[in-house]
């Protein structure tokens, strides 16, 4: 409650992007102050619960609840975010070459709707900068996923080269990768979710991962899809992802829909995240799980504000879940709330381990 009573009113009086940078800077500085990370763990950390610890795509996750991409774009605050109860982190989206993104203002709150609209446009400092930051980490208590994308000026027919380059630069420092082809804020990016463009991209990505792995097994890679796909397009996209040999998919990115919104910022262009996305992202998880018969691991992302939201995605077929917008509205206390709730809901259903709940709605 400390966040909602004190910190949130302070942050919400600020421009959203300035507040964002203040949070990242504070989390970054916590790692350099003696006792800073210990304090964060004491205030917000989550004790390990073996019933929630899980393994997905060959990686061990201390909990199934992670931080979605878009908050720590340059991997500046990995140690801080690792200390407040997340079971894994996504950093990025990162592009081969740093770029400024779209013009400001480009981030908007919709408080009555529990939502955000962003049109950031993959603003980041580039893959080389991120590689240096990840290489300098003293410890890695949770798996780190690197979310990769293409530069704005790269045409779609050459997009695979950008994804390959990100993998080459960052392979030694990532535990897994996420191919972002679903942000609505980079022109034509979502076209990469379809047909030959998707197959070409994923063939290039899996081949590059194999080259970097050498004699070892390639690191896992997930594909992040949009919530705005039609039923027919979703089926084709999931088929292509499943056939490509990637490790799994993330459902979903932000939406272009504005259905049922109350706040005036609903008119701002960009991707919408938060509560309005809860139902649609869960439905995408459900459909993808059913289509693949549970063979392809799914990360559920979109509109998770409560333990019930997270558990619904898990029962629909998600092996892991991610939050972002809820962290802005509810603060770091949310991790303890979700973990306690997941444990309670799981045991109420008669499960002894969270993996038993994955896809339970289909059985």
Please report, in angstroms and rounded to a whole number, the separation of the first and last CA atoms in the chain: 38
Domain of residue 87 covers 2-362
259 has a pLDDT exceeding 80: yes
Q: DSSP for 280-346, please give it.
A: HHHHHHHHHHHHHTT-S-EEEES---SHHHHHHHHHHT-SEEEESHHHHHH-TTHHHHHHHHHHHHH
**Exposed / middle / buried, residue 245 (Cβ in 10 Å: 0-12, 13-18, 19+):** middle
Say how far residue 162 (Cα) sits from the centre of its chain. 20
Task: Name the DSSP class of 56.
Answer: E
Phi-psi region of 57 (alpha: psi -120 to 50; beta: other; left: phi over 0): left
Specify the pLDDT at position 155.
Answer: 94
Q: What is the mean pLDDT of the chain?
A: 96
Tokens of 222: 């997930």
Q: How far apart are CA 102 and CA 104, in angstroms?
A: 7
Specify the pLDDT at position 325.
Answer: 98
Q: Which residues are catalytic?
A: 183
| 233-257: average pLDDT | 96
> For 87-97, how does the pLDDT look when each residue is reduced to its tens digit (9 = 90+)?
999 999 999 99
Specify the pLDDT at position 1.
Answer: 65
> Which residues are CB-contacts of 289 (< 8 A; sequence separation ≥ 6)?
298, 316, 317, 318, 359, 362
> For 104-145, how does the pLDDT look when each residue is reduced to its tens digit (9 = 90+)?
999 999 999 999 999 999 999 999 999 999 999 988 999 999
SS3 content of the chain, % helix, strand, coil (to 5): 45, 15, 35
Cis peptide before 105 (omega within 30 of 0): yes
Cis peptide before 51 (omega within 30 of 0): no
Q: How far apart are CA 119 and CA 104, in angstroms?
A: 9
CATH no. for residue 158?
Answer: 3.20.20.70
CA distances from 225 to 90, 142, 254 (A): 15, 24, 9
Residue 271's closest CA among 224, 213, 217?
224
- Based on the structure, what is the number of domains in the chain? 1
């Amino acid at each position: 409650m400390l966040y909602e009573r004190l910190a949130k009113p302070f942050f919400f009086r600020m421009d959203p992007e300035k507040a964002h940078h203040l949070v990242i800077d504070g989390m970054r500085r916590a790692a350099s102050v003696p006792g800073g990370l210990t304090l964060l763990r004491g205030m917000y950390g989550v004790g390990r619960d073996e019933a929630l610890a899980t393994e997905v795509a060959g990686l061990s996750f201390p909990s199934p609840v992670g931080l979605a991409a878009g908050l720590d774009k340059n991997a500046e605050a990995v140690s801080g975010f690792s200390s407040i109860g997340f079971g894994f982190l996504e950093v990025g989206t990162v592009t081969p070459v740093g770029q400024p993104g779209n013009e400001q203002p480009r981030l908007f709150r919709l408080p009555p709707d529990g939502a955000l609209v962003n049109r950031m446009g993959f603003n980041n400092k580039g893959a080389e900068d991120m590689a240096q930051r990840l290489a300098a980490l003293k410890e890695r208590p949770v798996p780190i996923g690197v979310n990769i994308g293409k530069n704005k000026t790269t045409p779609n027919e050459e997009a695979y080269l950008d994804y390959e380059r990100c993998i080459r630069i960052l392979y030694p420092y990532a535990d897994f990768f996420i191919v972002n082809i679903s942000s609505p804020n980079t022109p034509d990016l979502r076209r990469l979710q379809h047909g030959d463009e998707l197959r070409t991209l994923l063939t290039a990505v899996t081949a590059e991962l194999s080259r970097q792995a050498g004699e070892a097994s390639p690191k896992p890679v997930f594909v992040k899809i949009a919530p705005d796909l039609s039923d027919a397009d979703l089926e084709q996209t999931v088929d292509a992802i499943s056939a490509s040999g990637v490790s799994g998919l993330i459902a979903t990115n932000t939406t272009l829909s504005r259905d049922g919104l109350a706040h005036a910022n609903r008119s701002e262009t960009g991707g919408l995240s938060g509560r309005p996305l809860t139902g649609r992202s869960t439905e995408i998880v459900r459909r993808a799980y059913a289509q693949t018969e549970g063979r392809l691991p799914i990360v559920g992302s979109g509109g998770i504000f409560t333990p019930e939201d997270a558990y619904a995605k898990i029962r629909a077929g998600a092996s892991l879940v991610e939050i972002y917008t809820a962290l802005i509205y509810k603060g770091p206390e949310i991790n303890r709330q979700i973990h306690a709730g997941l444990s309670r809901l799981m045991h109420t259903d008669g499960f002894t381990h969270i993996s038993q709940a994955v896809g339970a709605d289909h059985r």
